[in-house]
Amino acid sequence: MNKYLEIVYYTFRDFRPDRLFRNPVMFVTEVAFIVSLVFTIDPASADLPSYFPYSAFYVSTTVMLFLTIFFSNLAEAVSEGKSNAITASLRKMKTNIIAHVKTESGIVDRPSGEVRKGDVVLVYKDEIIPVDGEIISGSCYVNESNITGESRPVMKVQGDSVTGSTRLVTDSAEIRATSDPGESFIDNMIKLIGTATRQRTPNEIALAALLSGLTLVFLVISAVIFPMSTALGVSINIVMLIVLLIALMPTTIGALLPAIGVSAINKISEFNIIAKSGRAVENAGDIDTIILDKTGTVTIGEREAVKFYPNNGIDYGEFVKMCAIASLEDMTKEGISIVNLARKEGISVSQEDLGNHDFIPFSAETKFSGVKTEGHQILKGSLRALKAKLGLSDTFIEALCKEISMRGGTAIPVVRDDRFVGVIELNDLLKPGVKERLESIKSMNIKTIMCTGDDEVTAEYIAREAGIDEYVANVTPMDKYNVVIREKEKQLMVAMVGDGTNDAPALAKADVGLAMNNGTPAAKEAANMVDLDNDPTKLLDVIFIGKQILITRGALTTFSIANDISKYFVIIPAIFFVFPSLAYLNILGLSDPLLAITSALIFNTAIIVVLIPLAIRGVRFVPTTISELLKRNLLIYGLGGVIVPFIFIKIIYVILAVAGVAW
């Protein structure tokens, strides 16, 4: 459907009373609209005067009420249109392709829609991956540009997860499907965006309750004017009372509230993050503590070997060779970089050179990896882990490690059999711009905790360089969970980024858990947001958006309620124009009561249109101290909310009067 037609369709669909009922302010407005429509058509039914100025007044009131609802619906429709566009583009990615499924009777070709969880599929070069899954053998480059927008293919190795509908560009891989048809990542994302935009957050519910309460009071107060004026011996035109009611009700925030809610999810989506609920976005705004991984978030993360340091009495070339052998089958980025550096030094080893061997893979628990050949065992990994494992100590190596750590590098000692043979220096750089971002986080009073597998010294160095408040060094996956729990016990709101299966419990426990799209399915399941671009620093953007949403809601509510002061001073003297002595309340000096009331109503309607972009885009947010922010927003939206309507109602009135609308 055409984008604009869709918006128009939504706008009119939402006129249905059963849909408006969710939003009491707009529902009352619609009832008022219907009542005033009846009076416009047949003023005699309520004994209303039907001659000229009044008839025009009824028509303009009816039109304005219609427009109020129309603009409210329009704001929501524009937001909804945006989120529909997002789901539509996600849906487009889902293509039905043929999967080569490995079965007992050989390889069978099946449509991707029939691949079940646990099936193993083969994907060759230049084929599209048919399902979400995990690579069980092979390594390859995958182009994920249709999800992340990043055109550079990413390297995937055994154990990495891949997303269906991305393209394999090199080699081939065996993939075990991790989801059933209809439950793939993209299917889930489509569903999530759908429900996330519909579910109201606790804050929205609270605000809606307050607005309903105010609406009820204004409804009663407008109604009571009727018997009161009768007691005073004057009759009040009921259409004027309808205008009073609509003007007093917080229509501005009432009209824009749904749009703000939908736009939260949309804005997050613009950053290529899928939020599973609006609540998570709101929570993000209130984060007290962020738990960051050092690697990938604070530092670039692609740690590269830069130098070899052999131990005393070890030949340099021999040492480099040992390092290369130990890393030959280590498919981590560090491992590959060690082999590459060795090659640059002129030493290359191949599988054949090793003969019969066993590779000892790296694990987060042991913190070392290596290789076992005939006669020798070469291990590399964390100093502490190796010392503990082998019961070794070597003052030279330890001093060397400390020195490397102190300048921010990572030292990887290498052990052959039962002796330290040297140290490999890996270097890692702070991400460009991360310091400034952490600075602005700090100014918002958010504590940062950095988790790293490195030793204390490196962790402290990096933390100090980047301006991080706290660090946890030598972390095991359990530690991360414990940090989350510790912060949660203080009733603080915790955000964290994670990608591994080990991170899943911590992600689930955190108030805002941002998982990386290339992370494990378990992590993505546990988190309440998934970043398609795999950029952990985007957590900071999420926090910004969360704050912006809250501020937008608060600012528009304040503005809407503050507007009432001016409306009282315009409409009350106009309604009671029969008491000339009340003219001292008419501080704007609007001499024509019908025109004054109409001007107030026009302002009331027009302000919604003016604020739609603000509601969808969000109030500008500059990170600063809380009291500064409060002062600034109170000034703009509180004081502004009192003064602005006075000015604009007067301007509208003058324009109408000059244009010759003489009632």
Partner 1 sequence: MIISYVTASAGQNFWSNFFVANRYVSGSIIIIIYIVIATVLAYLLSGYIANIYLGTKTAMDRISGPIVAAFEKMLGEDAKRDMDFREYFSTILVFSLFLGIIGFAVIYFQHYLPFSFSNNHMTPSLIFNTVASFLTNTNLQHYSNPFDLSYFSTTFVITGFMFVSAGIGFAASMAFIRGIISEHGKIGNFYHDFLVSEFYLLLPLSVLLTVILVLSGVPQTMSPYITITPVLSHVSFRLPLGPVATLEAIKNIGTNGGGFYGANAGFPLENPNWFTNLVELEAFMLIPLASILSLGKVFENRRFARMLYGVIMAIFIFTAFLSFFGEMVGVPAITDLGMSFTGNMLGKETAIGISQSTIFSVGATLTSTGAANGALINYTPVGIMGPLLDLLLNDPLGGVGTGVLNIFMYVIFTVFITSLMVGKLPEIMSLKIGSREIRYSTLSLVTHPLLVIIPFGITLLIPNMLSTFVNTRPDQITQLLYEFGTAAANNGSEIGGFLTNQAYFNYLDGVIMLLGRYLLMGFQLLIAQSFSYKKPKVQVMRTVDPGSFMFGFSLFFVMILLGLLSFFPILALGPLLAFAKAFNLFIAGVVL
Q: Catalytic positions, please?
A: 293
Tell which one of 70, 576, 577, 648 touches partner 1 (CB under 8 A). Answer: 576
Tell which one of 130, 285, 310, 519 touches partner 1 (CB under 8 A). Answer: 285
Tell which one of 49, 213, 589, 613 touches partner 1 (CB under 8 A). Answer: 213
x/- string (CB under 8 A) for partner 1, residues 585-624? Answer: x-----------------------------------x---
Question: Residues 27 to 56: which contact partner 1 by CB under 8 A?
Answer: none
Tell which one of 102, 568, 609, 614 touches partner 1 (CB under 8 A). Answer: 568
Closest separation between CB of residue 245 and partner 1, Å?
Answer: 11
Choice between 162 and 483, CB closer to partner 1? 483
Tell which one of 1, 136, 155, 206 touches partner 1 (CB under 8 A). Answer: 206
| Helices 24-41 and 202-231: angle between axes, nearest 10 degrees | 40
Tokens of 523: 């992590």
Choice between 64 and 244, CB closer to partner 1? 244
Tell which one of 112, 161, 283, 518 touches partner 1 (CB under 8 A). Answer: 283
Choice between 107 and 220, CB closer to partner 1? 220
Q: Does 98 bind partner 1 (CB under 8 A)?
A: no
Tell which one of 23, 60, 83, 222 touches partner 1 (CB under 8 A). Answer: 222
Judge whether 513 and 528 are in contact, CB under 8 Å: yes
Segment lying near partner 1 (by CB under 8 A), choices 40-48, 168-176, 228-236, 422-430: 228-236
Choice between 88 and 587, CB closer to partner 1? 587
Tell which one of 162, 238, 562, 649 touches partner 1 (CB under 8 A). Answer: 562
Tell which one of 136, 626, 647, 651 touches partner 1 (CB under 8 A). Answer: 626
- List Cα–Cα distances, 170 to 89, 207, 337, in angstroms: 26, 53, 20
Taking the C-alpha atoms of residue 563 and residue 408, their distance in angstroms, rounded to an integer, is: 56
- List Cα–Cα distances, 449 to 275, 434, 577, in angstroms: 23, 14, 65
x/- string (CB under 8 A) for partner 1, residues 427-446? Answer: ------------------x-
Choice between 205 and 429, CB closer to partner 1? 205
Choice between 152 and 490, CB closer to partner 1? 490
User: Which residue's entry shows tokens 């990413």?
Assistant: 154
Judge whether 202 and 279 are in contact, CB under 8 Å: yes
Segment lying near partner 1 (by CB under 8 A), choices 21-29, 112-120, 516-524, 625-633: 625-633
Taking the C-alpha atoms of residue 68 and residue 64, their distance in angstroms, rounded to an integer, is: 6
User: Which residue's entry shows tokens 């849909």?
Assistant: 19
Q: Which residues on neighbouring strands pair with residue 289, listed in sequence order?
A: 447, 494
Segment lying near partner 1 (by CB under 8 A), choices 28-36, 402-410, 454-462, 549-557: 549-557
Q: Does 577 bind partner 1 (CB under 8 A)?
A: no
Closest separation between CB of residue 256 and partner 1, Å?
Answer: 14
Choice between 309 and 621, CB closer to partner 1? 621
Q: Does 565 bind partner 1 (CB under 8 A)?
A: yes
Task: Find, among 27, 103, 109, 102, the residue nearest to 65 by Cα.
Answer: 27
Question: Residues 243 to 262: which contact partner 1 by CB under 8 A?
Answer: 244, 248
Tell which one of 106, 227, 432, 660 touches partner 1 (CB under 8 A). Answer: 227
Handedness of CA 208, 238, 72, 642 (dihedral sign): negative
Segment lying near partner 1 (by CB under 8 A), choices 106-114, 279-287, 298-306, 398-406: 279-287
* Residue 430 buriedness (CB in 10 A; 0-12 / 13-18 / 19+): middle
Choice between 36 and 558, CB closer to partner 1? 558
Choice between 107 and 205, CB closer to partner 1? 205
Judge whether 443 and 623 are in contact, CB under 8 Å: yes
Closest separation between CB of residue 331 and partner 1, Å?
Answer: 43
Tell which one of 581, 658, 659, 660 touches partner 1 (CB under 8 A). Answer: 581
Tell which one of 181, 301, 467, 554 touches partner 1 (CB under 8 A). Answer: 554
Three-state secondary structure readout of 44-91: HHHCCCCCHHHHHHHHHHHHHHHHHHHHHHHHHHHHHHHHHHHHHHHH
* Residue 387 buriedness (CB in 10 A; 0-12 / 13-18 / 19+): middle
| Helices 238-248 and 202-231: angle between axes, nearest 10 degrees | 150
φ, ψ of residue 354 in degrees (nearest 5): -80, -35
314 in helix, strand or coil?
coil
Segment lying near partner 1 (by CB under 8 A), choices 156-164, 358-366, 371-379, 553-561: 553-561
Judge whether 92 and 59 are in contact, CB under 8 Å: no
**Rg of the chain's alpha carbons, rounded to an integer?**
33
Question: Residues 449 to 508: which contact partner 1 by CB under 8 A?
Answer: 490-493
Task: Find, among 647, 498, 462, 637, the residue nearest to 561 by Cα.
Answer: 637
Q: How many CB atoms lie within 10 A of CB 576?
A: 21
Q: How many CB atoms lie within 10 A of CB 374?
A: 8
